[in-house]
Amino acid sequence: MPSPPRSSQRVAVYAWARRGDATLLARAGDGGAVSLPGGVVEHGEHPRAAMQRALVGLGVVALVGPVVGTLSDVAEVPDPAGAGPSLVHTVGLLYGVELGEARLPTASPWAPFLAPRADLARQRLTGVAALALGVPAALADLVLDPPLPALRDEVAPVESAAAADEPEPVPLPVVQRPAAYARVVADGKVLLTRLAHFDGLWTLPGGGIDFGEHPTQALIREVHEESGLPFTPGRLLDVDSRRFTGHGPGGRLEDFHGIRLVFDGQVPPDVEPHVVEVGGSTDAAAWVPVGRLERTPLTSLAAGVLSGLG
User: From first to last of its 310 residues, what are the pLDDT tens digits of the chain?
Assistant: 556 678 899 999 999 999 989 999 998 765 678 889 999 999 999 999 999 999 999 999 999 999 999 999 998 877 666 666 788 999 999 999 999 888 888 777 678 999 998 888 788 888 888 888 888 654 545 554 554 433 333 333 333 444 455 556 567 899 999 999 999 999 999 999 999 887 889 999 999 999 999 999 999 999 999 999 999 999 999 999 999 888 776 778 889 999 999 999 999 999 999 999 888 889 999 999 999 999 999 999 999 999 987 5
**CATH number of the domain located at residue range(s) 173-305 in this protein:** 3.90.79.10
Cβ atoms of residues 210 and 225 within 8 Å = no
**CATH number of the domain located at residue range(s) 6-133 in this protein:** 3.90.79.10
Same fold yes or no, 6-133 and 173-305: yes
Domain boundaries of the chain, sorted by first residue: 6-133, 173-305
pLDDT at residue 300, rounded to an integer: 93
User: pTM of the entire structure?
Assistant: 0.85
- Shortest CA distance to 185 belongs to which of 287, 272, 270? 287
- Shortest CA distance to 73 belongs to which of 207, 208, 213? 213
Cβ atoms of residues 180 and 187 within 8 Å = no
- Shortest CA distance to 34 belongs to which of 148, 115, 147, 134? 115
- Shortest CA distance to 58 belongs to which of 29, 82, 37? 37
The vertex-5 CA angle with 35 and 220, nearest 5°, equals 65
pLDDT at residue 153, rounded to an integer: 36
pLDDT at residue 101, rounded to an integer: 83
Distance, CA of 228 to CA of 275 (rounded, Å) = 6
